[in-house]
Amino acid sequence: MNRVELKEWSKQKINGSKLEIWKGIIIVGFLSFLFVIPSLMFDDKSTVGNILELVADIISIPLSIGFVHYIINFIRKDNFDMNVLYDHYNEFGRVVLATLISGLLVLAGFFFFIIPGIVISLCLFLVPYLLVERRDLTIFEIIELSIKMMKGHKMDCFVLSLSFLGWILLVIPTCGLILIWLYPYMTVAMAKFATDIIDNY
């Protein structure tokens, strides 16, 4: 489906399901906050505090992949299974290393210039989704497959992301209330875009 059809599909899909999506968001956010609490006991410039914050960020990575899994289940099966939010701690090393390596590659691209960073981030867009969908693949196979799958789709992904800008600009005027609808809408739309690419590859 094209961008307009995909966005319309996503609007219809989240009807009556926003609360369930927000349950997943709140659980992931709350647990991620719990991981960060030890670092808050130290001064902002404290080395120990910074190390603890980094550890908290790393520990939270499987939760973020679990949330991707949660949304994919909703798209594919109309199912909200809370258990998948924690499922990827069973493959902690794989999801953490894949996420960190992808992040470092994107950071390296932005180090040289903005455009290379954007291109690399688009090439690696599918990594979180492939970590869920292709659990048989190694880290580097996931990264390589994302790059291959995104050939011919990078501009579509970029335009789809930009198409939400108008809604995002309404966050401040609405005191953030629009996020109640917007965040599930954006999340489902981007996940649907990703799963369609994976299915059609």
- What pLDDT score does 183 carry? 94
Residue numbers of the domain that contains 191: 3-200
Number of domains in the chain: 1
pLDDT at position 43 over 80: no
Over residues 136-157, mean pLDDT: 95
C-alpha 24/C-alpha 59 separation (Å) is 17
pLDDT at position 194 over 90: yes
Kindly list the distances between the CA atom of residue 94 and the CA atoms of 19, 67, 129, 159, in Å, as whole numbers in the listed order. Answer: 31, 16, 13, 30
pLDDT at position 142 over 80: yes
Q: Which two tokens stand for residue 108?
A: 């390296």
pLDDT at position 10 over 90: yes
Residue range 70-118, pLDDT digits in tens: 999 999 988 899 999 999 999 999 999 999 999 999 998 888 788 888 9
Please give the mean pLDDT across all residues of the chain: 92
| pLDDT grade for 149, boundaries at 50, 70 and 90 | very high
3-class state of residue 80 by DSSP? coil
C-alpha 201/C-alpha 148 separation (Å) is 9
Q: Is 152 left (phi over 0), alpha (psi -120 to 50) or beta?
A: left
pLDDT at position 21 over 80: yes
pLDDT exceeding 90 applies to what percent of the chain?
A: 75
- What pLDDT score does 71 carry? 96
Q: Which two tokens stand for residue 147?
A: 């790059």
C-alpha 75/C-alpha 92 separation (Å) is 24
| pLDDT grade for 49, boundaries at 50, 70 and 90 | confident
- What pLDDT score does 114 carry? 83
